[in-house]
A and B are shown apart, each in its own frame.
Chain A
Amino acid sequence: MAIAAPGQLNLNEVPSWGSRSVDCFEKLEQIGEGTYGQVYMAREIKTGEIVALKKIRMDNEREGFPITAIREIKILKKLHHDNVINLKEIVTSPGPEKDEQGRPDGNKYKGGIYMVFEYMDHDLTGLADRPGMRFSVAQIKCYMKQLLTGLHYCHVNQVLHRDIKGSNLLIDNEGNLKLADFGLARSFSNDHNANLTNRVITLWYRPPELLLGATKYGPAVDMWSVGCIFAELLHGKPIFPGKDEPEQLNKIFELCGAPDEVNWPGVSKIPWYNNFKPTRPLKKRLRDVFRHFDRHALELLEKMLTLDPSQRISAKDALDAEYFWTDPLPCDPKSLPKYESSHEFQTKKKRQQQRQHEENAKRQKLQHPQQHTRLPPIQQSGQAHSQMRPGPNQPIHGSQPPVATGPSHHYGKPRGPSGGPSRYPPGGNPGGGYNHPSRGAQGGGGGYSSGPYPQGRGAPYGSSGMPGAGPRGGGSGYGVGGPNYPQNGPYGGSAAGRGSNMMGGNRNQQYGWQQ
């Protein structure tokens, strides 16, 4: 094997160690965009295998290789489970990063590192968003069971995911569900003694203890998110679409009751409890609001959405819940219908078409303010899902034919405003104006740029001006980022979350606090 000149990497050899060049892959198209970097669907030239390439952005790094990437790699290299996304390898690109003299400019790897993942066809949010999609009870159980199995595995291996949400749950056409995007994940010790940042987890899925400022926490934070997803699957829409932290807490308290020393011993010692404690007494209304749920589902949901993290059900116990052992039983993943995977068809042309549609939709939106809102994605499925949530069934995306065959990654599909009853008051989207002065000082909680989470991650309104991004709270809006790809989701920059990142939620800022 040839030896590279001093100071040069030997990129041509395919060594038994070290990494291959990204040239081993042929990029097919961009399928995600994050502050972290872009995500591409690619084909391995030698084998023809389709993979997802997630680029690790280096150009803004003052401290070398990002610690978040280090964490993600460390964690992914250690987790091997059917319900956890598989990091196949890491490849580098020699890159064009040379200065005028053709010399490496100090860091020749700038922008040239990719994580190679197995390719997955959908993510849960995207799938649920498909027009006319209806999940059966057995299907929901099947997904929930896989989610819990994967999460249990992470927790046993002392890894907190810290960003469980629909767009980070990837689903392939075999019905397999895998946890993805470990960009916010980190390992924990069982004593929960380390101080961890509370600026994690997308706002809508963030548990009350983090919202109250706890810095010592454990696996229960992920279980709250699971509860939110569970409820969302059953209910047809996100249950806590808060637009900022105070509102988020309020929504939680309104449903789960107000915390006190009785139902949550120690809550008054959590840092921001006094700032956020509800001014009026609130009763737990969970059973009432979701009375139409199946009994076992409600029972399990209640255990997941328990305010006190120490009383919240663990992934292991949740798997033992009656819910999963009563008819209809969780179905075999393989028996699930195969949904059309769309990336293959996502040509640039189509993207432009979609953009065009979005433009039109945007204009439409401007003309008809009442159409500001579109239905929340999952609601669509929920609505289709009439046995669970009867509701007006209305054409969704009716105006966007290309969309109908669209991908079920939510990024692939622009969500135009669909006419319809709006759950949210028109004008409820202050166009990215959620920046809270009080939070601003903290850099919006570090990584998430300014303002509360959904926007740091999402910021969909601001720059990318997505027409369709409507109703969903802070408009982290399930990643209707830009026209098309800004999905950021699953493989995507984790900081990216659901929104587009065009505003560049500054991932870098994260490093400081995220330890």
Chain B
Amino acid sequence: MAANFWTSSHYKQLLDQEDVDVVSPLDREKGITLEDFKLIKMQMANYISKLAQHVKVRQRVVATAVTYMRRVYTKKSMSEYDPRLVAPTCLYLASKAEESTVQAKLLVFYIKKFYNDDKYRYEIKDILEMEMKILEALNYYLVVYHPYRSLSQLLQDAGLSDISMTQVTWGVVNDTYKMDLALVHPPHLIALACIYIASVHRDKDTTAWFEELRVDMNVVSLPDVSASFPYDYL
């Protein structure tokens, strides 16, 4: 989107992990632990991604929507902002912001079709109203940078741009949205960490390349960026 990430609101609003991992008092009263909080967000990220498949929007819209959702919960409580409404609304808003507009009624249609649980059932007007609240919670900062853009360039530079490596890395990037990484780290760093993970997984030696990049491997392999990644299944 914008040419310069470093002057963007996205960069200026990067948070520390400790600030992201705060359960709002209202939620805490209801007994939601930090662990629950993270799981709910992951669950909602999955929900957004499922819905997105039905309405057929690009991964980038999903990524933006999930980022919106995660940003919202750094400011708002889940008690006030029901995740089951916030999630589809974020997708709705992201689809506009990313120029792949999805009609609200289409979203509502798929929600009704695939989610029998009444608690998921929201109407168009609920989405539209929540959209305004989300916009406000986001302070109208809608531009989100993603690692995807730098990914292919970096892979090419590393000489790893074969299809299989690209796919694995792309998948790893998709999975980063199951955590709050996008709120904490700049996208290029996430991209590098994903390349690192994928290369280790595929037994590709990237040490020399990373050295050449002079990137601080302590940061790249920082626990929350890569090491603790739930990659048992790779």
Write the residues of chain A forming the contact surface with B, with a CB cutoff of 8 angstroms: 3-4, 6-7, 9, 17-19, 61, 63-65, 67, 70, 73-74, 77-78, 80, 90, 92, 104, 106-109, 113, 156-158, 186-187, 511, 515
Contact = CB atoms under 8 A, between A and B. Distances in A.
Given A106-B129, A157-B2, A65 B135 contact: yes
B217 interface: no
Given A65-B93, A67-B101, A107 B125 contact: yes
Contacts of A61: 128
Given A9-B133, A64-B127, A156 B142 contact: no
B75 interface: yes
B108 interface: no
A219 to B, nearest CB: 13
Interface SS, A side: loop
Contacts of B132: 64-65, 92, 107-109, 113
Contact of B136 (A18, A77, A157, A187): A18
Interface of B: 1-4, 7-9, 26, 75, 79-80, 92-93, 96-97, 99, 101, 103-104, 125, 127-129, 131-133, 135-137, 139-143
B143 A74 contact: yes
A6 B140 contact: no
Given A63-B128, A65-B96, A78-B1, 15 more contacts: A17-B75, A19-B139, A61-B128, A63-B103, A70-B142, A73-B142, A74-B142, A74-B143, A77-B140, A77-B142, A78-B8, A78-B9, A106-B128, A109-B132, A158-B2
A80 B7 contact: yes
B97 A78 contact: no
Contacts of A158: 1-3
Contacts of A78: 1-2, 7-9, 143
Nearest to B25: A3
Nearest to B79: A6
Nearest to B24: A3
Contacts of A107: 125, 128-129, 132
Given A3-B26, A19-B136, A64-B131, A74 B97 contact: yes
Nearest to A106: B125
Nearest to B7: A80
A186 B99 CA distance: 10
A-B interface, 5 closest residue pairs, ranked by CB to CB distance from nearest: A106-B125, A64-B128, A109-B132, A78-B2, A67-B96
